[in-house]
Amino acid sequence: MNTLDFSAATSSDGVLERDFTIGGVPGVLWSPARDAGGGSERAPLVLMGHGGGTHKKAPAMAGRAARIVADCGFHVAVIDAPGHGDRPRTAYDEQEIALMQQAMATGEAVGPIVVRYNAHLAERAVPEWRATLDALQELPEIGSDGPVGYFGLNMGTAIGVPLVAADSRIGAAVFGIFWHDPLAETAKRIGVPIEFVLQWDDEHIPRASGLALFDAFASRDKTLHANAGAHKQVPRFEVDSAVRFFARHLGGTRRLGGGS
């Protein structure tokens, strides 16, 4: 079994940030700073999948992680997706990225390329995520039987839906901003609580496609959050809502203002 190979560790504002690699995949683990001394008080874990073209420490990832650590006292882990961040691109990666850039430049629909390329990335990423989760659960401050959530929009959903369908350790997930085909078939096998985000005026993803993906989840407990606005205009308060979703479903260790 692969284990986490920790390199750098820094701490600020009550958040401990530890860089790691596992089987050659670089990642980052954010934790409550009390764990700096190797404290063994266990806390839930949220896996976060970053969007296409970004990486494990993009501002959206660091910002969401800081909120989850501060408000819930949970751990948050992100790994670079294949071909992203500190990872090399294959010739196929380069080819698909060039096609996407070309489509965007000429105003062609990027959807079919994104859907196809992200399905390919998911095939590579799911086993990496599962090995990462194996190793994270070896840490005493996480443990092998604690609650685990997943949070990923855009490409983070393209990778997350097959991951959550494949790995029964993940008990709650926030998804969104993706096309229904081909994910909807996989979503039918997911029964854990889901919060699903879509943009009502998305210029890339047809409204009916986003609604169909939400509809496909078998979960009895699922919520759709649809906001007016374009593809990239997801309101910041959706992060707040996701934090509260994880507090409800993974078990918050701190008092949040309200709750169900």
The number of residues in the chain equals: 260
Residue among 36 and 218 whose Cβ is closer to its own copies: 218
Give least dist CB 201 to its own copies, A.
Answer: 10
Q: Three-state SS across the chain?
A: CCCCEEEEEEEECCEEEEEEEECCEEEEEEEEHHHHHCCCCCCCEEEEECCCCCCCCCHHHHHHHHHHHHHHCCEEEEECCCCCCCCCCCHHHHHHHHHHHHHHHHCCCCHHHHHHHHHHHHHHHHHHHHHHHHHHCCCCCCCCCCCEEEEECCHHHHHHHHHHHHCCCEEEEEEECCCCCCHHHHHCCCCCCEEEEEECCCCCCCHHHHHHHHHHCCCCCEEEEEECCCCCCCCCHHHHHHHHHHHHHHHCCCCCCCCC
Give least dist CB 215 to its own copies, A.
Answer: 8
Give least dist CB 65 to its own copies, A.
Answer: 14
Per CB under 8 A, residues contacting its own copies are 67, 71, 200, 211, 214-215, 219-229, 235-237, 239-241, 243-244, 248, 255-260
Residue among 1 and 228 whose Cβ is closer to its own copies: 228
Give least dist CB 57 to its own copies, A.
Answer: 22
Residue among 84 and 222 whose Cβ is closer to its own copies: 222
Residue among 50 and 222 whose Cβ is closer to its own copies: 222
Residue among 2 and 241 whose Cβ is closer to its own copies: 241
Burial 46-68 (b: 16+ CB within 10 A, else e): bbbbbbbebbbbbebbbebbbbb
Residue among 91 and 255 whose Cβ is closer to its own copies: 255
- In the numeric block, the tokens 């692969």 are attached to 2
Give least dist CB 118 to its own copies, A.
Answer: 25
Give least dist CB 27 to its own copies, A.
Answer: 26
Residue among 41 and 240 whose Cβ is closer to its own copies: 240
Give least dist CB 71 to its own copies, A.
Answer: 6
